[in-house]
Structure 1
């Protein structure tokens, strides 16, 4: 029997779902993890947007560094491969000139923070990002900038041998937010993975806290 892996987005979770999340063997949260009080407390890895404004917000102030999820985590995952995002800069300069700082890389700063605090740092490879892009094609994503960090982390866990055979459950995923992510297509993709039994979902509100197989 594989490990139980819980990937917890920053959206709403069902009442009482925190107990299910805390009972997992490995819990991944994201960035500032602002829903931690409602979604349990266990955190083994914090996945971060390691470029642009989100990275600056986390690294340049005390809130992220001093948060309970970051203090409790044993790993920091940089979701954005530096070389991949460097390669995106020229095309974004044309298509999205307002995102002039989107690819500014802070990966080394996250790696330094992790080393100084006894945590493992890993960079999710560009190939994972590209696999997510390829999978989205079948779900009519339209024009978008990049997949969300949640989708990239999900594809990393699904493909990483370290997690092979694990039961993977998602919670706190509303598939809403910045319009540079293809959230409608991501919702369809995740629902398909759930229907195929590759992931389980805990809805944002549910009379039953059993992880569902549906969307």
Structure 2
């Protein structure tokens, strides 16, 4: 039986989508799950930035660990491969010295939390990161540091979670934010997947269904 997989970003969610998202078979959210509420509450997988300050903020204290979305998630995806980010440390020290803690790896902390709470933990492999970079190259990205966690998660869900017949949808992706993610190219990459029928946007219905 085919499944509905919804990947919910932390961008704005149009009114009326919460029930559709909560009815999905698998719902994936990110980090602090800021779009929960308008974007529903069901959470099966949380994809986390497991390096740098975002990771430290999530693991420190109890707010993230005790949140409603994290409590119900059965699986955590660490989006950043330690191999990829370890290799980036020296070049970034020269090109972006302000990102001195960007490659600090906290995967062990998420592993410990997952083990203590009976959750499954997966680390997205380095090969997937390289495939995303190669795919983005076709869309002439401006110089960037890394693809966004959202893009890496979409690619991982399509390649390693979705099965034949599954429908993969996204919502809450504005493709804007941190200056060192290649958001313009990422939007084009996602639009190409939508055109190819591998992905759809819940918050952007096809032209035939628009008023």
CA RMSD of aligned residues (A): 1.4
* Residues 93 and 55 of structure 1: CA distance in aligned 2, closer, same or farther (over 3 Å): same
SS of match in other structure, 2:77: strand
Q: Give the Cα–Cα distance (whole angstroms) in 1 for the partners of residues 13 and 62 of structure 2.
A: 26
Deviations 1:54-102 (A, max 9, x none): 0011011222111111001000110001111101111111111110100
SS of match in other structure, 1:86: helix
Name segments (4+ residues, structure 1) moved above 2 Å.
211-214
Equivalent residue, structure 2, for 1:163: 162
SS of match in other structure, 1:64: coil
8 Å CA contact 1:50–1:106 kept in 2: the answer is: yes
8 Å CA contact 1:13–1:202 kept in 2: the answer is: no
| Equivalent residues, number | 207
Q: Which runs of 5+ in 2 are unaligned?
A: none
Instruction: Please give the TM-score of this superposition, normalised by the length of structure 2.
Output: 0.95
Answer yes or no: is 1:75 the counterpart of 2:81: no
Equivalent residue, structure 2, for 1:114: 114
Q: Give the Cα–Cα distance (whole angstroms) in 1 for the partners of residues 207 and 118 of structure 2.
A: 37
Q: Give the Cα–Cα distance (whole angstroms) in 1 for the partners of residues 33 and 62 of structure 2.
A: 14
Q: Which runs of 5+ in 1 are unaligned?
A: none
